[in-house]
Structure 1
Amino acid sequence: MSGNEKTITVNVFEVEQNNNVFYIGKIKASDLISIATVKWRGSQESQKNKYLNEVKEKLHGGFSEEEGIQRVLELNRLEKLATYIKEKEGIFPNSLIIALNTKFKDENEEELLEKYEEGFELNDSEVPGMYTLKIYRDQVNAFVVDGQHRLAAFVGAEDKVEEYDLVVTFFLNLEIPLQAEIFATINGNQRPVNKSLLYDLQAFDTGEYNEIKRCHGIVKWLNINEISPFYEEIKMLGTGYGSISQSAFIDELIKYVKERRTNKHKSFLQGKDNKEIIQLLLSYFLSISEMFPEEWKNKKDYVFLKTTGFGALMKLLYYVYIHFNINNKPFKKANLKEFFGNLSKEDFSKEKWGSAAGQAFQVKLFKHLAHKVLGDDEMLGLLDSKYKYFKEKEFTGN
């Protein structure tokens, strides 16, 4: 049943399968639509008919493989479902699967991430096994794990949303690996989903999952905190108004975080905790953004806040870090700004560098930067060899 304007109250019963608990109940289509999303889980906006507004926006602007909601919605299918709801008095007896998450909830990163009160309450009822689920509209995102087309079809049948009950299976603060497993099992034979969405769902084995989860928490922190040079500049699910996608950021960061079978020394961030990694990234990128404020802010005319420019800077990060480490110099913003002094008169405009993309451009820009501040390729090789020697002694204990 619907609650007041700020809350939704749903009667649910508990189901346990293989030590996993979920809740099944019914909810008005209008209520679910007001909190549901497949475009992003971390949205801070709360608005009436949020999901339908997202769908309308995409229908009006057109879909693309890069920007689609979860997967690209099929217009013909939506029209048929809307007709089925309106004209055929159609029913949807099968359950939609919803992952109900408190906004920015991450149990492993509580000290880093923005905090909200719990987005829902689960209270006992007089009937054994039954509960009342009280949902605070402003403090949750209801991620549509399965049923996106059924819910989106109401964009063409909005006169039905207030009277139409939907059967819903709720997972509460569903652990991300299980959310990914459910999503992948249901949609495994469908077209591939957006890579950034998969990173957010963490559909990986235990070791890789832990590494990506660490990177995800770090990237999210950098995106939501105003002291970060990447504040609101990261497209967390590959969509939105940021300059760099979450997947592109994680692709670069995980190279230094993951466990390697060979060249272990290049995973120089692996032994650091998340606070240390964030501080290191802040020192590095703040020094660059403060030295080049116009270049950093003006994404239209300069290369730094583009995926290729960011990739080049992340490649440079390793060599700058080991240079400081070998010379026992603190990796601090002031020291980094002094170190980057040779770049102060460099031109990083697109007029000079063009709008090239891809690994070739990243390597070209990286080498230009590295040669200016560290030396030629031979010097970079010697620097890497020296750091590898010291790290191997550390690994073997000799």
Structure 2
Amino acid sequence: MKSLKVLKVNQPIGEFYIGAIDSRELIDIATVDVREFEKGNPAKIDGIQRDLSKSRLSSLREYVNLDYATFPTSIILAIDERCVELRAVEGCEGLMQLDVVGYSGSGEDGDAEIPIEASAFIIDGQHRLAGLMDRDHSKGPFEVNVSIFVGADVADQAEIFSRVNLAQTKVNKSLMYDLLDYAKESSPYKMAHDVVVALNRDAEGPFHKKIKRLGKRTPGVDGETIAQATMVSGLLRHLPRNQEKERSKSIWGRTSQAEPGETWRERIFVDFYRKEDALSVLLCVSNYFEAISERWPDAWHSNEQGQILSKTTGYNAFIRFLKDAYLHIVNAPRVVEKDEFLLVLKKIDLRDEDFNSEIYLPGGSGAGKLYRDLIAQAFS
């Protein structure tokens, strides 16, 4: 038997109960029902849950062991009413005790047994719970808050699942990165964000008033061509690989601690990050794109439809090429000057008018083609 204290909530769909339970106890009683073709009957599809995402699960397994890990939103459960015993807690108005007991089955009506280890069906939260299976509980307990629907049929379960997932609006990545202004801990995300904000504010720099800070145009500012999230994501390829682990290390004052096998030749700004030297990253990036704007001034400053150099396609190609140019110039980590970058860029025969969306299609394919052209011409 698993027991927890709960409160009853009344909403239009009906009543449910909210409470908290140790993740290990929930794992012991939880099950999922993935939507798939019924075995032996390919014409019929059954179940309501999606397949577990391997990439998401891998990330969550690592996350649950970080020092600041949290799952503040409820895992939503459905439990057959035959598997539940509810009673009021004396002296605590509104508080109830919910016991999950399983169901032994009935010989009279042919009901199947429901073992306690399969009594709680997960409507929403299967990835979080699966990630918690790899939690190192020597670090302490990891309770999760739960919303429990007792006696909800499959139609109600499907309705809850679809509404929870369809009604949610994904947070704009630029807004998410911008909120890092409030972060106290160092992290690659934080450093990349700070560099991008500084680039946008530098009145003499190549990105002044070109960056859409919240993923949308700033009121009263014309000529913004690239989203803040795009800029941050590009810089992250040159900073330490394990973003969440670095944030956790920062909490304990271990930002300077390198990872096994870490090398600046693979992630060119990693040494600057270890020294918390955002200024050197800023100067390298600013000098590099200043050289690009000087090498192809018409394409860089153009806001015409179809011009891509200072937009997402051009940025994604050139921020990737930054590593190749940087490694061609330096023998050890340092700030590279604009004129040094220009020597590399002048080997590239592309003209201003070549940076258009007909030659370099929007999206990853166009950025990939431009990057390959840069490599071929600069180092042939």
What is the TM-score normalised by the length of structure 1?
Answer: 0.42
